Copies of this chain bind each other. A is one copy, B any other.
Amino acid sequence: MSPVSCGMSPGGLPPASLLAVAAAAALAVAAVAAWRRPRPVREVLFFPSRPCCLEALLAEAAAPGAPARPCPCPLPRADTSLSRLVRRLLSARRSLDLCIFSFSCPQLARAVHLLHRRGVRVRLVTDAQYMGLHGSQIGRLRHAGIQVRHDQHSGYMHHKFAIVDRRVLITGSLNWTTQAIQSNRENVLVVDDAACVKPFLDEFERIWEEYNPANYSFPKVSN
């Protein structure tokens, strides 16, 4: 039996062996790639959320590594839907794009403000009719230097979504109000699937441009 007929290449290596080695190498590469690929983000949060103290979480985000001062409030430091939502927001390193119909929760406003102070580019779109309601955090965030834009329509800007670092989408039924967080049945979905995130990114940019103050119209005032 010649070397070729028994599976040897003219150079000495059998083609079948080569194929096997190549297949094994391909499988190994695929396995390593799968192992190194970050796990997809899929998290669902339901509300109402149990009351909890977020001071330690916010303090750590404001000054990482600094000794934590104990909070005198009686609330537990617990893993709740609200604390998980805040953690997701605080994970932003470069950008946070917000489209929030009603925003009156002081804790979420503190998280957003903190990101702004940390140099994260925060852009906030909201609803013109709801941003002026009692308890709204929009004025405070705008005062802190965060860019805010709003609609000028009779319909509501009713979205409630956030995009962290143009990569992670946080969306659902939850308005960012204490009432919704503590009393309502609500959901928030957190995903990094590009097929979901990309359309929301595009929608945000569309709205951001449409609500550019340069496009605002004001009723004419007669002299």
A interface residue numbers (CB < 8 A to B): 1, 3, 6-8, 14, 16-17, 19-20, 23-24, 27, 40, 42, 44, 46, 48, 99, 101, 151, 153-161, 171-174, 179-180, 182-187, 189, 191, 193, 195-196, 199-200, 203, 207
With contacts A187-B161, A193-B42 taken as known, whether A7 is within 8 angstroms of B3 at the C-beta atoms is no
Please give 11 more A-B residue pairs, beta carbons under 8 A apart, in addition to A16-B20, A19-B23, A155-B185: A1-B6, A19-B20, A40-B195, A101-B173, A155-B184, A156-B184, A158-B174, A158-B180, A159-B187, A171-B189, A191-B191
Closest to A179 in B: B155
Residue from B17, B155, B182, B193 within 8 A of A7 (CB atoms): B17
Residue from B7, B40, B158 within 8 A of A14 (CB atoms): B7
- Complex alpha-carbon distance, A1 and B8, angstroms: 11
Residue from B157, B174, B199 within 8 A of A184 (CB atoms): B157
Q: Of A154, A174, A180, A199, which is in contact with the most chain B CB atoms at under 10 Å from its CB?
A: A199
Chain B residue contacts of A171, Cβ below 8 A = 172-173, 187, 189
- Complex alpha-carbon distance, A187 and B197, angstroms: 12
Q: A28 CB to closest chain B CB, in angstroms?
A: 12
Residue from B20, B193, B200 within 8 A of A20 (CB atoms): B20
Q: A195 CB to closest chain B CB, in angstroms?
A: 4
- Complex alpha-carbon distance, A214 and B179, angstroms: 28
Q: A131 CB to closest chain B CB, in angstroms?
A: 14
- Complex alpha-carbon distance, A7 and B17, angstroms: 8
Chain B residue contacts of A44, Cβ below 8 A = 196, 199-200
- Complex alpha-carbon distance, A23 and B187, angstroms: 45
Contact call A48/B17, Cβ cutoff below 8 A: no
Chain B residue contacts of A196, Cβ below 8 A = 42, 44, 189, 191
With contacts A6-B7, A173-B159 taken as known, whether A183 is within 8 angstroms of B23 at the C-beta atoms is no
- Complex alpha-carbon distance, A155 and B180, angstroms: 8
Q: A100 CB to closest chain B CB, in angstroms?
A: 10
Residue from B151, B183, B200 within 8 A of A187 (CB atoms): B200
State the 5 A-B residue pairs at the shortest beta-carbon distance, nearest first: A155-B183, A23-B23, A42-B195, A44-B199, A16-B17
